[in-house]
Chain A
Amino acid sequence: MVDLSGKITLGEGSALLRKTVRGLLDDKRTKIVLNLADVDYIDSSGIGELVSAFTTSKGRGGELKLLHLTKKVHDLLQLTKLYTVFDVYTDESSALRSFQ
């Protein structure tokens, strides 16, 4: 479980997400839940980084899921038709159970 907060935007936010996910995958921790409850803002770079994290995890035989989307993030993922691409959960236990 990775708890993210603030903004996932061009620059530090996106870079930190990329570094965090890559680090987990390098450590062979391939079942990842990104908790976005405290992410109140994301731009196209941030969306691109989420997609990259998703495809990279999948490419390494892992899974990446999203948890607790805020309304803005939820609406953006729906608008860009990515909401159905990601596994999105509203409670932690369901997200964790989904890996079994």
Chain B
Amino acid sequence: MGTDPKHLEITLETQVESVNLAEEMCLRVAEAAGFGEDDCYKIGMSVREGVINAFHYGNQERPEKKIHLAVDLTGDKMIIHVLDEGQGFTLAEVPDPLAEENLLSTSGRGIFLMRAFMDEFDVVPGRTGGAEIVMAKKLPLQENPGSNGKGSQGSSPHQGA
């Protein structure tokens, strides 16, 4: 895959099948970008968790709502955006799943897993409401890094609180 920035967007239905579809799509992009098996697994899992979050918490499993997935490939990273049409949330509101009182909770691990698997992770207010998860994985080092990066499209996340 060349170094020109690439952008891909898809609107998903708020249904369980969208989780698999989003994961598959992003896995194909990650493989084409040159990520190895381990990174592809982490990217795929993170996309799964992001879309599950949008499906269940953001859109409350309401079928009339949509999930917006976007992928940007820049010169140095793969950036994934998952936007829901819910009420929005901040990372500060998310309980720590590793806290003793939460360890046996049956939910609440998605954000933690995305933060663990991706190099960059944040949650920002969606441009039309809702919450937008923005996460990124640095591209694997190329053997010939001499190509000139042309800058990036799309927003670049930073580590959230």
Contacts and interface: CB of A to CB of B under 8 A. Distances in A.
Are A and B genuine complex partners? yes
Interface stretch (B68-76, B99-107, B138-146): B99-107
Chain A interface residue number, banded: 20 to 34
A70 interface: no
Contacts of A43: 45, 48-49, 52
A45 B48 CA distance: 10
A5 interface: no
A54 B106 CA distance: 10
Interface residues of B, number: 22
A11 B19 contact: yes
A88 interface: no
Contacts of B89: none
B107 A9 contact: no
A51 interface: yes
A44 B109 contact: yes
Interface in A2-49: 9-11, 43-45, 47-49
Interface stretch (A60-68, A77-85, A91-99): A77-85
Interface string B16-51: 110110000000000000000000010001001100
Given A10-B52, A80-B112, A49 B106 contact: yes
Contacts of A79: 113, 116
B103 A82 contact: yes
A55 interface: yes
Given A11-B19, A79-B116, A81-B98, A44 B103 contact: no
Contacts of B55: 10
A72 B113 CA distance: 13
Q: Is the interface of B mostly helix, strand, loop or mixed?
A: helix
A49 to B, nearest CB: 7
Interface string B77-91: 000000000000000
A44 B16 contact: no
Given A47-B109, A48-B109, A80-B112, 20 more contacts: A9-B19, A10-B48, A10-B55, A11-B19, A43-B45, A43-B48, A44-B52, A44-B110, A44-B113, A48-B105, A51-B104, A51-B105, A52-B106, A54-B104, A55-B106, A72-B41, A79-B116, A81-B98, A81-B103, A85-B104
